[in-house]
Each structure stands twice: as structure tokens, then as C-alpha cells.
Amino acid sequence: MKHNESPLKKIFELTQHEWDHPAERAAVRDNFRKVCACRTPALGGEVYASAAGEKVFDHTCKSKCCPSCGNRATLLWLEEQWAALPDISFVGIVLTMPKVFWPVFKAHRHLQHDLPALGAAVLQQWAWNLYQVRLHIIVIPHTFGGYLNHFPHLHMMVSAGGLKPAEARWVEPLEFDREQIMILWRFAVTAYLWKANRDGLLRKFHLPEEFNDLIHEEVRRDYWHIHVTPTMSKKHFLGYAGRYIRRLPIAQNRILKVTEDEVVYLAKDTRTKTFQETSCTPAEFVAMLSPHVLDRYQHSMRYYGLLAPRTKRLTSAAVFALLGQHPRPKPPRQGWADLLKQHFGVDPLIDEFGNPMQWVGRRQPVPVRTLPRAGQ
């Protein structure tokens, strides 16, 4: 494998017959195809030229499964959130569930789509019951664990203070009680599953035997794992959140080797906080990744509370005023060349002699069938 070659892209090309068929979800097929075509003539490109010659910059795929495009989207998101959020403290909260429920959510993807709203409702109810405040809430749903297993859970980014509408003031800091939040979350998940089963929304052959009895056992279970981070600054908060959005479950630098018969990668053991070298076939690797690809029209993060799209415009100005801060204008969306200069110190539009190149035209996409196969 070449040094600059994407290992994920190579895996998708090697296993195309495993995922590019009608039995696979359309979201998986579309995203994996985009990754294979990213930065190739298949997507067309922009032509820039100087007196020394011309250069074609192939278009990127914009897929959330693409490490390169996902990184660019994350950088843009971080800039927008830096302007949109007030300078306050934040807390990170991770909501998990017992492993007996994991297969149920894997077999019923529509249930996973409701988890962010469920988690946000728990936090809003807790904050209102205790403090009568509304919070900034960003929910990042995750479906994977360190071994690429299916492990549905929520990463929640929550303001450490809240707006108290009755008194028109900002209350900070709040004391986040992990046990109280856990009790509310446990009730919300078990009640949601019980009602879904009662209303016939679950397929019986995908459920454990005596599913309702299992739900009642988990209701009585003393402890569900809930993690609450210490209070962090907005800068730290955005850095923390940026690690969890617009990406597949594994970073490319953890893929050590890719051949036609084997993928060697580093699996993350969250209990020991170590990495374990693991191997499997390319087909097995893709089979582990596919369930974690978001369905069409599903977002990597969701906004609730003071950040809910319906109320953000009205509440944002009020929060900034109460905090004695000034709202910031939305930053202009940076182009690809400006981002490369800002974050990597490279200006792609300078030729080998140091002269600027100008846009001169657009290269039309080349049909995929005319492109050479990987390795040729």
C-alpha cells in the first residue's frame, strides 16, 4: 500500500462485490462508492493554470465515511460553533445501556433514530426539575465500541449553566448528579422499548425470549453506566466534541495493513485503555463497518434545548445579553484552498516556481468503467 493511499478506500475497492448489491442498504452503497471515487477523475475536477503549466484538482466526495472529507467538515463545524456558542463552561455526558438491548437496536434501526431525542429529554427534564433552567444540548449518537462492535450510546455536550426563564437570568454552575440522570435515562429507555413492543413496532424473531420480563429486570438493575466529565472550557469542549462527529468508527492510522486476504488494525480496549492488534478478512472488516453508516437524511449531531432550531434564533440573543457578551456573526465558509493554508500551511494554488495559479476551467467526470482497478 502506498504511503499516501487511503487504507479504507483500498478495503472498499477490494470488497466491492460484498457491499455493492441491492441487498445492502442504499446509504452504505452510496457512501462507500463516494469514498472510492474521492479525489479521482470519476468526480471531475477544477483546472488551475499558471505560465508554467496547469494542474487538475479532482473533486472530493463530501461523504461522512471519507476520512479526508469528514475532517474538513469537522473543521468547518468547529468554526461555526465557536461563533454560535457563548463563552461559558460545558460538561460532557455519555449515556449507555445494558448490552442485552444492543441487538434489539441493531435489528431495528428506526429505534436508534429516536435515541438522541430521548437522551436530550432526560437532560432537559432533570435540569428543569432541579433548577427550572434550559440548557444548551448537542447530542452525538454513536453505534460503535472500540472493537467495531455494535454498541449504541450517546455523547452529549451540555452547558454547565442554564437559562432560567422565570427570572430572566443565567444560573451557573449546575451540579450534575450522575445517579439522578441515570435513573431518568434507565426509565426512558426501558419505557420506550416496552411501548415499542406493545405497539407492535418490534419484530418478534429479533427479540430475546420473554422480552418484557427482560425489560423489567433491567428496570430493577441498580446501575447503568453513565459518565459525566468535569467542567470544561468552550475550547476544550469543541475539541472533545470534534473527535466524535462525521467519521467512521476507526481512524485510518489504526489500520496497519491491508491485503487481499487480511486487514490488520488496532482495536481499542476501553476497559484497559490500550490498543490491541487485531486481524480479519477485508469482507469481515466491511461487515463490521456497514451497520455504523448513517441512514440517509440522518445527522451526525442533533441540537436541543437552547440550541434547538425552532428556538435558537430567539434564545441565542437573550443568552448573550444576560451574559454580557456580544453575538458573533457566522463565519464565511472557507474554501478548500484556504483551509489547507490555515490548518496545514500549504497553498495548493502556488506552482513549483512560486507563482499563483488561476482557475481556467472544469474537467468533466470520467465514467467509472474507464478507470483502472485498484493495484493496476
pLDDT in tens, 185-213: 999 999 999 999 999 999 888 888 889 99
Q: Are 118 and 149 in contact (CB under 8 A)?
A: no
Task: Classify residue 99: in a domain, yes or no.
Answer: yes
Task: Classify residue 237: in a domain, yes or no.
Answer: yes
Q: What angle do CA 257, 258, 259 make, to 5 degrees?
A: 125
**Cα-to-chain-centroid distance, residue 208:** 29
- So what's the pLDDT on residue 369? 55
Task: Classify residue 130: in a domain, yes or no.
Answer: yes
Residue 86, burial from CB neighbour count under 10 angstroms (0-12, 13-18, 19+): buried
- So what's the pLDDT on residue 1? 45
In DSSP terms, which residues pair with 78 in a beta bridge?
none
Task: Classify residue 185: in a domain, yes or no.
Answer: yes
Task: Classify residue 162: in a domain, yes or no.
Answer: yes
Task: Classify residue 351: in a domain, yes or no.
Answer: no
Query: Would you tell me how many other CB atoms lie within 10 Å of the CB of residue 213?
Result: 9
How many structural domains comprise the chain? 1
Task: Classify residue 125: in a domain, yes or no.
Answer: yes
pTM tops 0.85, yes or no:
yes
- Find the domain containing 241 and state its range: 88-248+293-322
- So what's the pLDDT on residue 368? 65
Task: Classify residue 256: in a domain, yes or no.
Answer: no
> Residues 347-376: what's their mean pLDDT?
78
